[in-house]
Amino acid sequence: MAEEQASGAEKRLSIVKIYLKDFSFESPQAPAVFRAEEWQPHMNLNLRSGHAHVDGDFHEVVLTITIEAKEKESDKTLFLVELHQAGLFEINGYEKEEFAALTGSFCPNILFPYARESVASVIQKGGFPEFVLQPINFDALYLQQIKAQNEQAAQAEKH
C-alpha cells in the first residue's frame, strides 16, 4: 500500500495553458444565403485530436473541429468552420497506456467546452441561427480508436 501511494505521488497532470491555435470561418454564399426562405442545411461534423511532445513533461493536445453546412438541393457550402483548440499540459509519471488515454480522451474532454463556445459564437456572429454542438463522449471515441488499431494489427499479423 505504501508503494502504491508513493508511485501515485509521482503522477502529475496539470493544465498549463488553453488557447486557440487556428480558427477560420467562411460563408461563401453570403449575403444571398440570408434571403433564403427556409434554413434546413445538411450539417457535416468532423472531429479529431492529436498530441505532440513539446519539451520535458510538456505536451500539446489539439482538438480539431470542422463543421460544414451545405444547402440540401445544390450542395453549395453555406458556411465552413475549422477550429484547432489547443492545450499545453504537463504530464508526468504515467504508464504508456495511461498516458495514451490522457492525451486521447481526458485532455480533449478538457478542451471541448472552449471549442464549443468558440464555434457557437462565430456561427452566430456570421449571421446564422444558434448552433449548439452536442456533448461528445471522448472515452467512447478513444476506445473505438484502440479497438480499430487492434483489429488492424490482428489483420496485419494474419497476412
Closest CA to 141 of 13, 70, 45, 54: 45
Confidence of residue 115 (pLDDT cuts 50, 70, 90): very high
**How sure is the predictor about 9, in pLDDT bands with cuts at 50, 70 and 90?**
low
Domain range 2-158, CATH architecture: Roll (3.10)
Q: Could you tell me the pTM of the whole model? A: 0.86
pLDDT digits (tens, 9 = 90+) for 37-51: 888 899 999 999 999
pLDDT at 78 over 60: yes
Q: What is the pLDDT of residue 149?
A: 85
Query: Domain boundaries in the chain?
Result: 2-158
> In which element (H, E) is residue 42 found?
strand 42-55
The pLDDT of residue 1 is above 50: no
Q: What are phi and psi of 54, to 5 degrees?
A: -100, -60
